Amino acid sequence: MTAPLDADQGLPSPLPRPGDELRTLERVWDPPKGWRLVTAVNNNIVGIFYIGTALLFFVIAGLLALAMRAQLAVPENDLLGHRAYNQFFTVHGTGMMFLFAVPMVEAIAVYLLPAMLAARDLPFPRLSAFAFWAYAFGGVSFFCSLIFDAAPDGGWFMYPPLTSFTFSPGINADFWLLGIGFIEISAIAGAIEIVVGILRTRPPGMSLDKLPVYAWAMLVMAGMIIFAFPAVILATALLEIERAFQWPFFMAEKGGDPLLWQHLFWFFGHPEVYIIFLPAAGMVSMMVPAIAQHRLVGHDWVVLALVGTGFFSFGLWVHHMFTTGIPQLSLSFFSAASMAVSVPAGVQVFAWIATLGKGRVQWTVPTYFVLGFLFIFVLGGLTGVMVAVIPFDWQAHDSYFVVAHLHYVLIGGMVFPMFAGLYYWWPTFNNMRLSERLGRWAFWLMFGGFNVAFFPMHISGLLGMPRRVYTYPTGLGWDWLNLISTVGAFVLALGVLVVLVDMARAALGHGERTSDNPWNAGTLEWVPNDWYATRSIPRVNSLYPLWDDPKLPREVEAGGHFLPGAPTNRRETIVTSPIDATPQYLMPMPGPHWGPFLAGLFTAVHFLMLTVQLYWPSLVPAALAIACVYWWVWELDKGEDHPPQDIGGGIRVPVYVQGPRSHSWWAVVVLLLVDGTAFACLLFTYLFLWTVSPDVWPKDAAALPSLWWLAAGVALWGLGAGAMAFAGRALARDRHWPMRLALLGGLALLVAAAVTDGVAQIQTGLKGAESAYGAVVYMLVAWQGFHVGVLLVMVSYTLARSAFGLMGSRRRVTFDNTMLFWHYTCAQGVVALLMVHLFPRLAA
Amino acid sequence: MSARSFPTAFGGTMAAFLVWAAHFTVVYGVNGLACARGMDRWEVLGFPFVPFAVVAATAVALLLTAAVLVRALLGGGPAPHAQGDPRRFLRWFTAAAAASSLLAILWNGLPALQVPPCG
């Protein structure tokens, strides 16, 4: 029996707590029941939905792999025709990368991060819910395309010209381009949530040096999403526009270049590998100390390795293009970077081995999966260094050797840690452990099956077997190797099936009931919690608070730390400063709502209608989706509706802040980083096409709009920015009508600026479909027009709130969000104008 | 530390990696453009243009990164840094990142001395 906690222990909140405090906390965080569960926004529920859906997509994509392996088991097999096989490998690769791996690592973060940070939830719960529903509806639609023989069939990287309208005229490619582009928006929403969550909702005292490694990994991963995903979103937009309007971005005969797609795709695609791997590495860095009962050796070096990998991974994309004829020295830069990135990966591997070596290892299922990960991932890393060597890559390129390498890296680097994590963190779900016996069976089946399936592919690749062939003739020495691979694949699948059975057993209550901290781990996710997360938010003094202060869980559970209740009678969490984690304010958090579910549904319907070329009708679900977003955000910007609250430790914090300290400001800034990266990729597109096809660029200034158009455009964007600045000052003085008029007038200026930019080009006779130059110039104009369109929506919302009296000098977060996007749009407009008007003159 | 100073602290901590990224962009861009436009035949001060440009860019990047390293080692940036102060960790991180970037920049620049630009 544990002794009761003393009332006077210097805790932030005195004990015992008032009796009604816990009841209030439970009431405000009570989740919706029955069919209303789809309105839930709490990370515990959305996270489980997210993980479950990602697992479902993993199983579906895995079944496609089994079908492919069955087809390849014997030579000249006719189980699947080439058409079905092409669709299967495309949907398998796409599903695994876009619909399983990235969503899964984000899903795990949605579920785990608030617990590790002792936050009551992530900072934008409704955005999380929307991201999930958009992903779920979009993913289901994507897989359903197989049923209608409309699935994409151009490979997971969809290279043009194979995927151009000439060679892929149906809607198959559109399913990929629109579906994946749309689902990436969901990934970006998740990244914004993760960045703001990690930097602003940590518990008091958890300064950056005490941030768990998993949180570091997720921070790096989210940063990589911010800078990598815009490239593929832009690429999909360009290819879709080429298919729809014949703007020749990738058509060599009109000055385009298929390699542009490869650059944009792989600028996303290689960091993508680390976007998947780093979160898994972060999970391993959390599990290994608990497994070994020893602090992570070289913690600071592991953090450095995570951040270094994040940067260096952006210097690797051309190693997917070694055979495309790129100059030799350029290839060498990427070869060098590809070898360099193995150093930080090695640092982490040695840190894990050293931790296991210095501690006393508990031989449980997570341990097996972690060791399996180490074995497989190191092998995959070694073959990665091999293909980083250019002459070797020329031999192995597009062969089964590469198939073996990428599966060793991805399954070893992400799937094994995921299963380790599943067994390790399952008790946080329902206080039960998954079965040790079934878990060990699953591990050995998966580990053995995996190596039997994929190791022979190294040999079949070196014997010359190319990727993506639906069958092969006998007598090439590939027959037995393929049969062995197929047997291994089915054994691997059996291992996965055992895990699913184990999960089902435990979910139905047949698991082994366990204590709150069954692994005796040292981090905060093992503090007892409920829908509201932990009863109070702990004061953190070390990297392993549960090891350094064994009383902490009981103190937290008794309400002895920060924010032990719900003082404003609603959901809320503490926002802290990004480096020191000093409490700054109390953030109100929204509760269940239909908006995210319906907005996700209508967004998916909108994109689906675009895919089947119902362009005008698709505006209806688009408008409904925007209306649902309006509906859910309407109640969020509450203003200072309560006085500053006591959160414990003698600290009183406001319940509302605005300006750069606001979490909302941070989210918009992160969004603008995404936007700016996409624009930078568009500028790269312009410069790349000019580099490869200078002959389609104007030869002299006579073919360009006069500089007066440039001057007019710059003046309009500048005046627009000035109008917003005036509106901001008017709001600061609570002069509402001048503010509204300035917004309306400024918006008119921005519309005029966008129209001016377009007319300037049209009056020269330039056409988008005639050359790559025309295409990229009009793309820049259209890009700017899209931003003005977004501003139309944002300003109308801002004005509506003003009209309802929901905005003022002390309640201006909504206005500030619009202002940030507005100023960014104006700055981008000027840069785009300078590019299209001045660059051709200088180049000519 | 207020939220306002976070971008400064963050930028300073990541400065060496940002220099690495800028160097990588410059050397790749210069070589790509030179090969596309026949500039690889140019000479600067008697040296072939591309290796000269890459070596120059590498030297500048190394100098900048070394400056970040020295500043972090000598105690530039936010102070004081008592045990347990996150600034101590950030300063260590800045120095370690700079040392890593120094090696990475050198490693990335070396091929210019050995490999023909456009081969």
For A546-596, write each residue's pLDDT tens digit: 999 999 999 999 999 999 999 999 999 999 999 999 999 999 999 999 999
Q: What does the block give as tokens for B105?
A: 């920049």
Q: HSE-up of A16 (CA within 13 Å, CB side)?
A: 5
Q: What does the block give as tokens for A567?
A: 């003082």
CB contact under 8 A, B119 and A329: yes
CB contact under 8 A, B4 and A660: yes
Residue B5 has pLDDT above 90, yes or no: no
Residues in chain A with CB shorter than 8 Å from the CB of B107 are: 336, 339-340
Question: Is A301 an 8 Å CB contact of chain B?
Answer: yes
A598 to A630, A631, A632: CA distances (angstroms) = 12, 10, 10
Q: How far is B58 from chain A (nearest CA, A)?
A: 12
Question: Is A1 an 8 Å CB contact of chain B?
Answer: no
Res A436: pLDDT:
96
Q: Give the integer Cα–Cα distance in Å for A27 and A268.
A: 44
Helical ranges in A594-735 per DSSP H = 595-611, 619-633, 663-692, 707-732
Max CA pair span of chain A: 90
Average pLDDT, chain A: 95
Question: Is A398 an 8 Å CB contact of chain B?
Answer: no
- The answer to whether A263 and A688 are in contact (CB under 8 A) is yes
Res A293: pLDDT:
97
Secondary structure element (H or E) that encloses residue A388, with its range: helix A365-388
Pairing of strands A572-576, A583-588: antiparallel
Residue A1 has pLDDT above 50, yes or no: no
Q: Per residue in B14-40, pLDDT tens?
A: 999 999 999 999 999 999 999 999 999
CB contact under 8 A, B111 and A578: no
DSSP single-letter state for residue A415 = I
Angle at A504 between CA A503 and CA A508, to 5 degrees: 115
Question: Is B81 an 8 Å CB contact of chain A?
Answer: no
Angle at A789 between CA A788 and CA A793, to 5 degrees: 110
Res A186: pLDDT:
87
Q: Give the integer Cα–Cα distance in Å for A620 and A732.
A: 37
- The answer to whether A316 and A337 are in contact (CB under 8 A) is yes
Question: Is A490 an 8 Å CB contact of chain B?
Answer: no
Q: Which position has the token pair 């209740």?
A: A565
Question: Is B118 an 8 Å CB contact of chain A?
Answer: yes
| CATH superfamily label, A35-513 | Cytochrome c oxidase-like, subunit I domain (1.20.210.10)
Q: What does the block give as tokens for A43?
A: 């990370």
ipTM of the complex: 0.94
Mutate to test the interface with A, among B23, B35, B40, B58 (most CBs of A within 10 A): B35
Res A5: pLDDT:
59
Res A4: pLDDT:
53
Ordered DSSP codes for B76-114 = -SS----TT-HHHHHHHHHHHHHHHHHHHHHHHHGGGGT
**Residue A52 backbone dihedrals phi, psi, to 5 degrees:** -60, -40
CB contact under 8 A, B118 and A327: yes
Domains of chain A, residue spans = 35-513, 659-843
Question: Is B11 an 8 Å CB contact of chain A?
Answer: no
DSSP single-letter state for residue A35 = G
**Residue A694 backbone dihedrals phi, psi, to 5 degrees:** -65, -20
Secondary structure element (H or E) that encloses residue A576, with its range: strand A572-576
Amino acid at A471: T
Q: Per residue in A440-471, pLDDT tens?
A: 999 999 999 999 999 999 999 999 999 999 99
Could you tell me which of A752, A35, A328 has the C-alpha nearest to residue B51? A328
DSSP bridge partners of A562: A537
Interface of A with B in 231-290 (CB under 8 A): none
Secondary structure element (H or E) that encloses residue A573, with its range: strand A572-576
Residues in chain A with CB shorter than 8 Å from the CB of B32 are: 326-327, 330, 691
Q: Spell out the residues 6+ positions from residue A363 whose beta carbon is closer than 8 angstroms to its own.
A: none
The verdict on pTM exceeding 0.90 is yes
Res A180: pLDDT:
84
pLDDT band at B1 (very low <50, low <70, confident <90, very high): very low
DSSP bridge partners of A513: A432
Considering only CB atoms, B32 lies closest to which of A330, A339, A577, namely: A330
Local structure of A513: helix, strand or coil: strand
Q: Per residue in A525-540, pLDDT tens?
A: 999 999 999 999 999 9
Residue A2 has pLDDT above 80, yes or no: no
- The answer to whether A574 and A587 are in contact (CB under 8 A) is yes
Q: What does the block give as tokens for A823?
A: 């100023």
The answer to whether domain A659-843 has CATH 1.20.140.90 is: no
Average pLDDT over residues A690-703: 93
Secondary structure element (H or E) that encloses residue A814, with its range: helix A813-843
Res A181: pLDDT:
79
Burial of A473 (C-beta count, 10 Å sphere; 0-12/13-18/19+): exposed
Instruction: Give the distance from CA A422 to its chain's centroid.
Output: 20
SS3 letters across A93-126: HHHHHHHHHHHHHHHHHHHHHHHHCCCCCCCCHH
Burial of A342 (C-beta count, 10 Å sphere; 0-12/13-18/19+): middle
Neighbours of A149 (CB within 10 A): 12
Taking 3-state DSSP, the helix, strand and coil percentages for chain A, each rounded to the nearest 5, stand at: 70, 5, 30
Secondary structure element (H or E) that encloses residue A802, with its range: helix A772-803
Question: Is A425 an 8 Å CB contact of chain B?
Answer: no
Average pLDDT over residues B103-118: 94
CB contact under 8 A, B50 and A329: yes
**Residue A466 backbone dihedrals phi, psi, to 5 degrees:** -80, 160
Residues in chain B with CB shorter than 8 Å from the CB of A334 are: 28
Neighbours of A248 (CB within 10 A): 26
Q: Per residue in A215-235, pLDDT tens?
A: 999 999 999 999 999 999 999
Res A427: pLDDT:
96
Pairing of strands B43-44, B47-48: antiparallel
Burial of A796 (C-beta count, 10 Å sphere; 0-12/13-18/19+): middle
Q: Per residue in A479-523, pLDDT tens?
A: 999 999 999 999 999 999 999 999 999 999 888 899 999 999 999
- The answer to whether A7 and A14 are in contact (CB under 8 A) is yes
Considering only CB atoms, B89 lies closest to which of A208, A328, A343, namely: A208
Instruction: Give the distance from CA A345 to its chain's centroid.
Output: 21
Q: Give the integer Cα–Cα distance in Å for A527 and A553.
A: 5
pLDDT band at B4 (very low <50, low <70, confident <90, very high): very low
- The answer to whether A328 and A320 are in contact (CB under 8 A) is no
Considering only CB atoms, A304 lies closest to which of B1, B9, B93, namely: B93
Secondary structure element (H or E) that encloses residue A584, with its range: strand A583-588
Question: Is A303 an 8 Å CB contact of chain B?
Answer: yes
Q: What does the block give as tokens for B55?
A: 């070596």
Q: What does the block give as tokens for A718?
A: 């500048």
Instruction: Give the distance from CA A124 to its chain's centroid.
Output: 15
Question: Is B83 an 8 Å CB contact of chain A?
Answer: no
Q: Per residue in B39-65, pLDDT tens?
A: 999 999 999 999 999 999 999 999 999
Q: How far is A300 from chain B (nearest CA, A)?
A: 8
Could you tell me which of A269, A340, A338, A345 has the C-alpha nearest to residue A304? A345
Q: Per residue in A381-410, pLDDT tens?
A: 999 999 999 999 999 999 999 999 999 999
Whether the link from the prior residue into A643 is cis, omega within 30° of 0, is no
Q: What does the block give as tokens for A253?
A: 């005969």
DSSP bridge partners of A537: A562
Instruction: Give the distance from CA A80 to its chain's centroid.
Output: 34
Q: Give the integer Cα–Cα distance in Å for A162 and A88.
A: 17
Q: Give the integer Cα–Cα distance in Å for B44 and B53.
A: 9
Burial of A535 (C-beta count, 10 Å sphere; 0-12/13-18/19+): buried
CB contact under 8 A, B118 and A328: yes
CB pairs under 8 A between A and B: 120
- The answer to whether A281 and A308 are in contact (CB under 8 A) is no
- The answer to whether A697 and A773 are in contact (CB under 8 A) is yes
Local structure of A699: helix, strand or coil: coil
Neighbours of A805 (CB within 10 A): 9
Angle between helices A663-692 and A772-803 (to 10 degrees): 170
Res A32: pLDDT:
96
Res A645: pLDDT:
96
DSSP single-letter state for residue A18 = P
CB contact under 8 A, B119 and A328: yes
CB contact under 8 A, A330 and B3: no
Mutate to test the interface with B, among A211, A216, A314, A330 (most CBs of B within 10 A): A330
Could you tell me which of A494, A490, A485, A277 has the C-alpha nearest to residue A376? A277
Helical ranges in A463-520 per DSSP H = 479-507
Q: How does A540-563 read in b/e, with b if 16+ C-beta sit within 10 Å?
A: bebbbbbbebebbbebbbbbbbbb
Residue B77 has pLDDT above 60, yes or no: no
Res A19: pLDDT:
86
Question: Is B28 an 8 Å CB contact of chain A?
Answer: yes
Could you tell me which of A454, A507, A446, A506 has the C-alpha nearest to residue A481? A454
Average pLDDT over residues A38-62: 97
- The answer to whether A128 and A49 are in contact (CB under 8 A) is no
